[in-house]
Every structure is written in structure tokens, then in C-alpha cells.
Amino acid sequence: MDAISHKCDVVSSDWTHWHQIHWFSSYQAVRRLQTRIAKATQLGDWRKARRLQRLLIRSSSAKAIAVRRVTENRGRKTPGVDGITWSTPESKMMAVRALEPKGYRPKPLRRIHIPKANGGKRPLGIPTMHDRAMQALYLLALEPVAETTADPNSYGFRPERSTADAIVQCRNALGRSHSPEWVLDADIKGCFDNISHDWMVKHVPMDVSILKKWLKAGYVAQGRLFPTQAGTPQGGIISPTLANLVLDGLERGLKEHFPRRAKLNVVRYADDFVVTASSRDILEDKVKPWIEAFLAERGLTLSPTKTEIRHITEGFDFVGWNVCKRQGKLLIVPGKGNVKAFYQKVRDLLRRMRTAPQAEVIHALNPVLRGWAYYHRSQMASRTFAKMDHKIFTALWRWALRRHPNKGKRWVRRRYFQTLGPRQWVFTDGTQTLIRLSDVKIRRHNKIKSDANPHDPAWGEYFDSRTRERMLQTLAGQRKVAWLWKRQAGICPICRQQVTSETGWHLHHRIWRTHGGSDEASNLVMLHPDCHRQYHAVAGSPVPSVTDGT
């Protein structure tokens, strides 16, 4: 591992090639500046915070990290209106040099539409790669401020926070015998599309000229250019943080304006939030008008069809779960709409794979089943898992019978289902087995502390322990990879940053397989994908020759 790290420690800070970038030093430099920005924000020294933000934006390290982020995320192969993507080391290095605020003019967004859960279409704006990298660069400077000033119980689109944290906070607010029993289940109408540009320009702590350019860039749909008069486009890297900054202050404002006896609790995930209170009158006559006034300043309104005041015994849906109190006990189970959408996804997949081999079907279904089960396993999902196992089995049985209309049911069963130990009717081809949702154990989620700030060094050890816990759960069942991750203390030896499920990883062979190396754990090292490519480029790995006829 030390040899691997040394390969990239010797490069100069005067980079001429993408694979010469010293990532460890780059991340250290950016992290130091982000820590100083967060500390200045805590002290209310906005002049110093702005000066440090400008310093970070001009940093070559920050520019390299911004380009690395947009070339490693899931949208790296999706171009904007210019049709350009950065897939080679040369194009990435040119991109780093081109990230200059002076003379910067963003291109319009490429407008596409994606399906919504209610059957409608959600507009999505795809920036160009250059605009994405500029947004990622400015986000590095804006995020420490946003995290320091954020509402404690805001969980959407923030580092180290998730829907699981939001639903546990709902349990904390509503699960006790003396907890409030009335809930305002609120949703903002077209949040991303209607945010006031004037409000953002006045209140978002970043370069105003750059922000104005992004907000007024417009979008291209069906070959025509359309202007943008309001809103921040969904699809940009910085857009979720901008939306959070617009809504921050909602929780603190409510707590300041109303007494403790009102039992107000706010839990927000992006533009979807719930507010608890001790009575319906407080919510209807005081809290709701205050929220409407708060949103009106920002050009927003509550959705009349999705905003309701309910007693906790009626229940409400939030981030995919249904929260309801029965006989004094709070029940949190997967929401009916979420369950229905999941089952429809399974059926659609089976319909598309009518003629596919059984192994391909299992390979396609397992990640879908595992992902949905892991999402819901922190709450009361056992009964739902059992019901869905039965429905999925029925769908698989229909899929198998349809493939062999001239065969008997006993033959179909022997062909696609086997008995493994005490389990009967196991969908397997002998090498792969379809997982059962019921086999996923329910695990209590350890909610993040509300005031935890990833840019404050005082919370460093706390976040490290959470990352370790989350990764070991992710790697359950992958003994070799889990052993490697623990041996390396979760650190990539090239850039010395954490290896997580978000960053992904490659398994590097110390002795290459072409030189006789084995796949034993002692011969493997976990590296980030780009660090793995960098190591081989610096090490001078052999490039296969291309000749005619090969």
C-alpha cells in the first residue's frame, strides 16, 4: 500500500497532466479552506467568509476536485446542449484550466422530462459539463456556509443525511405518550420552478454575478430557447443547496415565534416537510399563515392539494413511509404508494424480460429487491416484506408459465424453482438465487445528531464512526471486500480519502494477474476508480497494440 501511495506522492504541484494531480494535497487544501469558511460563518464574520470563498474558487486544487466530481458521478456520460463529455485525461486537464470566473458565460440547459410518482412529468435541466464543473467549484465554497446556517432538522440533499434520518426524527417527535397529536403535512407547489430570483440574489452568500448568470441562462426544448424568469433548475449540482438555503430559517423561525407549549417540531426533506403541534387550531390559525408568509417572500406557495392538517391517528405519508398512531403506539410502515410503485417496477421488469434466461432475470431483479428492502429496513417493514414476497412469487410463477404454455406445472416448477434446505419454491438456476425481502433483517437506524456539521473539525471523529458503520452494513455478505476495507481503515492509499458506497471502488492487484498475481485478499487493494486509473498511468502500465485484423 505504501508503494502505491508513493507513486503519486512524488509528482510536482505544477500539474501538466490529469494523472499528475496529487489528490491528497488537493483535498487537504480544500478541506482547510472549507473549515475556515465554516468557522467564519459561525462567528458571523461574513467579510472573512467571502474572502475565503474567493480564495477557494481560485484554487487549482478546488478546480481539479470539481472536475473530478462531475466526471465520476452518474451523469458523467450525459451531455448538455453542446453534446460534449469529458472522458479522457486530456479533456479533464483542459477543463481544469478552463474553470475561470472571468468572462464566464453559461450555456442554456438541455430540458428533458422524467416521470413522477403521480404519473406526471418532472422537468429536468441538464447543464453542459463546463457549467456543471463551475457549479461544483462554487458549491465547494458555498456548502460550508449552507451547512453551518442550515435548520437542524433539514435532511434533504445534505452531506451525511438521508431519508432514514428524517423518518427517525418523525418518530422522535411523535412517538412518546406526551407527543403532539396534530400534523401539518405540507408540500410546496413547484418549489424549484418558482423560487424568486430577486430573493436568491439578495440572500444567497456567493458571487452574485455568477449566480445571476446561472439563474437567467434559459433552457432549450425542442430546438427552441426559452428564458427563465424564476426558479432554480432541477438537474444542476448546486440547485439542491440553493433550494435548501431558500427554505432554511423555517424551523428556527417557527420555534422563535411560538411558545414551547405549542409543541412545534419541524422535519423537512427538500421541499416536503411536516410540522407538529398540540392542537389543530394552532396549525390552522397561526402556524400555516406564518409559513405562507415565509414562503411568499421567496416566491413560493403551499400546494393546496398536497397540504393537509391531520390527526396522528389518521396517518400521513412522508418520504416513502406512512406514519400513524394506533392505540398509543406509533407505527411507521412503507407507504401504500411506495409499495405499489415498487411492485409495478418488478412487474415491468419481468414484462420486458419475457424471453430472457432465468440467470439474467435474477441478476436484474436482485439489486431492485435489495435496494428497496434496505431503504425500508429501518422501520416496521417485516409484514410488508412478507406480503411482497408472496406477490413477487406469484408474478414469477406467471412469468414461468407464460414461457412454457405446452408444459405441465410440475415441469415448470422443477425447471425454475428448487428446494434449498427448509425453503421450498426457491427461484434459482443453481448458480444464482433470487433474494427474499423477508431475509433482510430489520435494523434500527442511528440518526445523525441534528447540529452535526461535516465542515467542523470537532465532528470529525463522529462522522468517521458513522461512515464505518454504514460501510460495514453495505459490505455485509462481501467478506473479502469488507476485510480489505477494514484493513485499509476505509482509506484509499492514493488520495487518502474515504472509500464509500458513494465514491465506489476498484480492486487493484498488487501483483498484476498478467504477471501471475492471484485474486486472494492479500494481493488486493481498494482504490477509488479514478485513483486506480491514475496509478496505472503513473506506473506506466502496458498498452495493448492495435494492428490490422485484430
Q: Could you count the other beta carbons within 10 Å of the beta carbon of residue 25?
A: 16
184: left (phi over 0), alpha (psi -120 to 50) or beta: beta
DSSP element (H, E) containing 272? strand 272-277
Q: What is the pLDDT of residues 327-375, one digit of tens each?
A: 999 999 999 999 999 999 999 999 999 999 999 999 999 999 999 999 9
Residue 119: the pLDDT is 62
User: What does the alpha-carbon distance between residue 243 and residue 267 come to, in Å, rounded to a whole number?
Assistant: 16
- Say if strands 308-311 and 109-115 run parallel, antiparallel, or are unpaired: unpaired
User: What does the alpha-carbon distance between residue 235 and residue 217 come to, in Å, rounded to a whole number?
Assistant: 14
- Say if strands 272-277 and 308-311 run parallel, antiparallel, or are unpaired: unpaired
User: What does the alpha-carbon distance between residue 211 and residue 270 come to, in Å, rounded to a whole number?
Assistant: 20
> Which residues is 332 bridged to in the sheet?
323
User: What does the alpha-carbon distance between residue 430 and residue 91 come to, in Å, rounded to a whole number?
Assistant: 46
What Å distances lie between residue 265 and 6, 255, 276, 309, 314, CA to CA?
51, 8, 5, 14, 18
User: What does the alpha-carbon distance between residue 174 and residue 411 come to, in Å, rounded to a whole number?
Assistant: 53
User: What does the alpha-carbon distance between residue 362 and residue 356 come to, in Å, rounded to a whole number?
Assistant: 10
Q: Give, for all 550 residues of the chain, the pLDDT tens digit.
A: 444 444 443 333 467 889 888 888 899 999 999 999 999 999 999 999 999 999 999 999 999 999 999 998 888 899 999 999 999 999 999 999 999 999 999 999 998 887 766 666 777 889 999 999 999 999 999 999 999 999 999 999 999 999 999 999 999 999 999 999 999 999 999 888 889 999 999 999 999 999 999 999 998 988 888 888 888 877 789 999 999 999 999 999 999 999 999 999 999 999 999 999 999 999 999 999 999 999 999 999 999 988 999 999 999 999 999 999 999 999 999 999 999 999 999 999 999 999 999 999 999 999 999 999 999 999 999 999 999 999 999 999 999 999 999 999 999 999 999 999 889 999 999 899 999 999 999 999 999 999 999 999 999 999 989 988 888 888 877 889 999 999 998 999 888 888 988 888 999 988 888 888 888 888 899 999 888 888 888 754 433 332 333 3
Taking CA 89 as the corner, what is the angle to CA 87 and CA 93, rounded to the nearest 5 degrees? 110
- Residue 267 sits at φ, ψ, to 5 deg, of -125, 120
User: What does the alpha-carbon distance between residue 394 and residue 416 come to, in Å, rounded to a whole number?
Assistant: 13
Nearest CA to 526 out of 466, 476, 482 is that of: 482
> Which residues is 224 bridged to in the sheet?
221
Q: With beta carbons less than 8 A apart as the criterion, state whether 15 and 60 touch.
A: yes
As given in the structure block, the three cell numbers for residue 420 are 434449498
